[in-house]
Amino acid sequence: MTTRRMVLLGGVAAGGALIVGYALWPSHRRERENALAAGPDERFVSNWIKIANDGIVTVIVPHCDMGTGNITALTQMAAEELDADWSQMRGEQAPPDPLFANGALAEGFILSGQNIGYGQVPAFLRGLVGNSFRTIAEYKNLQITGGSSAVRFTGVYGMRVTGAAVREMLVMAASARWNVSPDACRTEKGRVFHGGKSFGYGELAAEAAAYTPSDNPVLKSPDKYTIVGRPVPRFDVPAKVNGTAQYGIDVRVPGMLYAALRIAPVFGAKLASVDSVAAEKMRGVSKVVKLDDAVVVVADRFWRAKNAVESLAPVWRKSGNEDETSARITAKRDALLKSGPVKSDVKTGAGADALAKGKLVEAQYSVPYLAHAQMEPVNATALFKDGTLEVWSGTQDGLGARAYCAEVAKLPLEKVTFHQLQMGGGFGRRLPGYFNFLRYAAQTAMAMPGLPVKLLFTREEDMQHDYYRPNVISCFRAALDGKGAPLAWVNDYTTEDDPNPEAHIVYDIPNQAIGAAKLTTSIPTGPWRSVEASWHGFFIESFVDELAHADGADPYAYRRTLLAQRPRHRAVLELAAQQAGWGTALPKGRARGIALFESFQTIVAEVAEVEVDDKGALTVHRVTAAVDAGTTVNPDGLRAQVEGGIIFGLGAVLNGAISIDKGRVMQANFPDYEMVKLADCPQIEVHLSNSDGPYGGGGEPGVPPLAPAITNAIFAATGARIRDLPVRGQDLVAAITHPPQKQTSG
């Protein structure tokens, strides 16, 4: 099985350069593109970019947009290099043909977990990864289609280059018409100029398409940007306010049937038997399909399928996980950290030996399992006919989905077609490696040859058969020098993976030892918005806060001092503190907490302002965020992502917990896995501070600092130090009645 690490990093262990391309296409390829995706009056000038006679420029984006605005942002990046007129730009998700799935295809290849080098690229991919390469040096930050990677990856290495190449082709076409040197021409707002004369891009497109694109076009210097950095409205928004946006769940195929399923509730259990006689007689039911670990009912309507599947009493074969409980997993996890082995990841200076040189501070933190709970329950529609499989679904990687379906169906790749639809939220749930919904849909379709079947998880199945954010514990020890700084930082944590780079700290501490102990359990886990950063952010920033208090220092000033060598981080911290009014007086019962975390190359600091009343009820009034994502493509889009990340993080701090009993998940639906609602939503302000840093991700970095900002604020308000999430159910009153001796400002 693919591990999460493989999904994120697979294929990059080659040691050499990872090559993910954008490939500029020889002209015969463009003919096929034109046939597939261009109208009568438009044509592809390069891969990804087509230009119509009326000057409308459409960028075909090889990513899906799950609400993070990446189609708009990538179109901005291409438009910038094109010197396009923004009002003439359009962005579209690539059609389901491998020809367009350049980025996605390359990503799909990465997923295969093989080393990448051109010689090793399978033939079907060569044309895509081939002609022209951009080397990506920072393997670590590689992620599949998700808001945090599209801009940094496809945008930086693909869209800008292809936009610049097309601009050069348009200039060549115009200069040929005027019979002047290309150097004597300039471009602006969708036109090529020479002196007082000009042509619109639409007029030149057909001639431009005849040139071979340069694979090394001249890129603009960022200070000349007029489109990148502008808060443009997203292309996908209008269809999302009138019900016309098509999600996976909305697909309608002629003759389509519906399927509901029941998966073995205990992880790892298999279907032994099920009496399907009565169910098969229920109205509308076509068939009861028995799968390895699930039973599926196919009917003419979803409601009938659901009622029928719920009427069944399947017998499950035991998996040995029947006695698993959260308490047992937690005990195993804690014991592992005590007894090891702990794999060392970082050692600087004297490491743990330096602990003896100062005042020891220790603390231990944990987070529970969490479900994704994206609003659209996972689903897929599939048709198996004449030895071919056609699948419709919303996933975070169309190519990976296609390859996975081929594997499930044991069909050659060319016999499988995949249609990528919009997703009602992803957050990691729909990444490759976590495709159980595709498996059940493909297997059901194969049991119903010739009939398209839409298989939809109920919320209960979605929540109980997710790939959860893991249950993690992290132990810290530090030595303080008595002069306001830590001498030593020692951190051991559990992981289900290799040691996490997210546990590395940005603070200047001379002696460090960081290591991980590998835990395995029967509970399936997977990436959850911001992945490891979501828990290490909480752990590290809580402990830094504890150190500040132990040193009698203001938590903001303390961090600031430790960031002397990190001007970008320090600037972000200062901006958040300043905008939040750090240090200014607050009404009784209220306090602020601060936290800073870098993830996906974006640095975010957040200040939370909370209130705990005399009954212990917590209200989060305000969250102020400062963000440095290097160059911001769409500031309004980035703000929306950080707002969303804060609210996503808030649910985890306040209420989020998936618990296990008898080998199964106890929570089933929103009443017992509570979501943040309008009434819980604080006032949120997001301040952007651009820097000369690399393009950072947008979809995830807002999450990690939120939990510690809130728990640090709770400490400042009450003296209660929350070391285990969520806050719900913990007694904040007891701490209030016995406040700590000294409260620092904040």
Partner 1 sequence: MAIDLKVNGQVHTLDVEPDTPLLWVLRDELGLTGTKFGCGVAACGACTVHLDGEAVRSCVTPVSTVAGKEIVTIEGLGAGGLTDVQKAWITHQVPQCGYCQSGMVMAVAALLKTNPHPSDADLQAAVTNICRCGSYPRIRAAVRELAGKA
| Largest distance between two CA atoms of the chain | 85
Choose the binding region for partner 1 from 19-27, 250-258, 335-343, 517-525 (rule: CB under 8 A).
Answer: 250-258
The correct pick among 219, 335, 375, 617 for binding partner 1 (CB under 8 A) is 375
Instruction: Annotate each residue in 30-69 with x if it binds ligand FES (CB under 6 A) or - if it does not, as one string.
Output: -------------------------------------x--
CA separation for the pair 60, 100 (Å, rounded): 8
Position 593 contacts ligand FES (CB under 6 A)? no
Residue closer to ligand FES, measured from CB, 218 or 375: 375
Residue closer to partner 1, measured from CB, 120 or 669: 669
The correct pick among 33, 203, 250, 324 for binding partner 1 (CB under 8 A) is 250
Contact positions with ligand FES (CB under 6 A) in 360-379? 375
The correct pick among 648, 656, 700, 718 for binding partner 1 (CB under 8 A) is 648
CA separation for the pair 116, 151 (Å, rounded): 22
Partner from partner 1, ligand FES, none contacting 178, C-beta within 5 to 8 A by type: none
Partner from partner 1, ligand FES, none contacting 118, C-beta within 5 to 8 A by type: none
Closest distance of CB 305 from ligand FES, Å? 17
Position 425 contacts ligand FES (CB under 6 A)? yes
Residues 621, 590 contacting (CB under 8 angstroms): yes
Partner from ligand FES, partner 1, none contacting 124, C-beta within 5 to 8 A by type: none
The correct pick among 15, 119, 196, 671 for binding partner 1 (CB under 8 A) is 671
Partner from ligand FES, partner 1, none contacting 499, C-beta within 5 to 8 A by type: none
Phi and psi of 647, rounded to 5°? Answer: -70, -35
Closest distance of CB 678 from ligand FES, Å? 11
Q: Which residues does residue 595 pair with via DSSP β-bridges, in sequence order?
A: 606
Partner from ligand FES, partner 1, none contacting 191, C-beta within 5 to 8 A by type: none
Q: Which residues does residue 369 pair with via DSSP β-bridges, in sequence order?
A: 658
Partner from ligand FES, partner 1, none contacting 373, C-beta within 5 to 8 A by type: partner 1
Q: Rounded to the nearest 10 degrees, what angle do helices 567-580 and 555-562 cross at? A: 160
Closest distance of CB 376 from ligand FES, Å? 8
Closest distance of CB 9 from partner 1, Å? 26
Residue closer to ligand FES, measured from CB, 32 or 677: 677
Taken in order 724, 727, 728, 731, the sign of the CA dihedral is: positive
Position 640 contacts partner 1 (CB under 8 A)? yes
Position 636 contacts partner 1 (CB under 8 A)? yes
Relative to beta strand 294-299, strand 285-290 is: antiparallel
Taken in order 180, 181, 184, 186, the sign of the CA dihedral is: positive
CB-based contacts of 446: which residues, under 8 Å, 6+ apart?
Answer: 384, 389, 409
Closest distance of CB 378 from ligand FES, Å? 14
Residue closer to ligand FES, measured from CB, 67 or 702: 67
Residues 655, 672 contacting (CB under 8 angstroms): no
Residues 635, 688 contacting (CB under 8 angstroms): yes
The correct pick among 199, 427, 435, 695 for binding partner 1 (CB under 8 A) is 427
Residues 592, 586 contacting (CB under 8 angstroms): yes
CA separation for the pair 52, 39 (Å, rounded): 8
CA separation for the pair 24, 167 (Å, rounded): 13
CA separation for the pair 725, 545 (Å, rounded): 16
Partner from partner 1, ligand FES, none contacting 328, C-beta within 5 to 8 A by type: none
Closest distance of CB 403 from partner 1, Å? 24
CA separation for the pair 371, 528 (Å, rounded): 8
Task: Report the candidate in 691, 725, 297, 288 with the shortest Cα–Cα distance to residue 535.
Answer: 725
**Side chain identity at 276, as an amino acid letter?**
S
Closest distance of CB 136 from ligand FES, Å? 30
**Which residue carries 């305000």 as its tokens?**
622
Secondary structure letter of residue 87 according to DSSP: G
Position 262 contacts partner 1 (CB under 8 A)? no
Task: Report the candidate in 73, 67, 60, 72 with the shortest Cα–Cα distance to residue 103.
Answer: 60
Instruction: Annotate each residue in 441-460 with x if it binds partner 1 (CB under 8 A) or - if it does not, as one string.
Output: ---------------x-xx-
CA separation for the pair 51, 614 (Å, rounded): 64
The correct pick among 42, 236, 324, 606 for binding partner 1 (CB under 8 A) is 236
SS3 94: coil
Position 249 contacts partner 1 (CB under 8 A)? yes
Written as six digits, the tokens of 601 are 């190359």
Position 239 contacts partner 1 (CB under 8 A)? yes
The correct pick among 40, 196, 243, 587 for binding partner 1 (CB under 8 A) is 243
Residue closer to partner 1, measured from CB, 171 or 455: 455
Relative to beta strand 294-299, strand 257-263 is: antiparallel
CA separation for the pair 103, 84 (Å, rounded): 23
- List the alpha helices (DSSP H) in 375-454: 398-409, 436-446
Secondary structure letter of residue 633 according to DSSP: S
Please count the residues of this chain forming the interface with partner 1, following the rule CB under 8 A.
62
Position 76 contacts partner 1 (CB under 8 A)? no
CA separation for the pair 273, 286 (Å, rounded): 19
Choose the binding region for partner 1 from 239-247, 331-339, 487-495, 724-732 (rule: CB under 8 A).
Answer: 239-247
Closest distance of CB 632 from ligand FES, Å? 21
Q: Which residue's Cβ lies closest to ligand FES?
A: 375
Residue 411: how many CB atoms within 10 A of its CB?
Answer: 17
Closest distance of CB 425 from ligand FES, Å? 5
Residues 633, 641 contacting (CB under 8 angstroms): no
Closest distance of CB 244 from partner 1, Å? 7
Closest distance of CB 201 from partner 1, Å? 27
CB-based contacts of 319: which residues, under 8 Å, 6+ apart?
Answer: 264, 266, 267, 268, 269, 270, 522, 663
Position 68 contacts partner 1 (CB under 8 A)? yes
Closest distance of CB 66 from partner 1, Å? 5
- List the alpha helices (DSSP H) in 379-484: 398-409, 436-446, 459-464
Please count the residues of this chain forming the interface with ligand FES, following the rule CB under 6 A.
3
The correct pick among 87, 179, 221, 244 for binding partner 1 (CB under 8 A) is 244
The correct pick among 303, 313, 353, 508 for binding partner 1 (CB under 8 A) is 303
Closest distance of CB 285 from partner 1, Å? 13
Q: Which residues does residue 383 pair with via DSSP β-bridges, in sequence order?
A: 390
Which uninterrupted H or E stretch holds 511? strand 511-518
Residues 93, 104 contacting (CB under 8 angstroms): no
Binding site for partner 1 (CB under 8 A): 66-69, 233-234, 236-247, 249-250, 252, 258, 283, 301-304, 373-377, 422-427, 456, 458-459, 636-637, 640-641, 643-648, 669-671, 675-679, 681, 683-684
| Residues at the interface with ligand FES (CB under 6 A) | 67, 375, 425
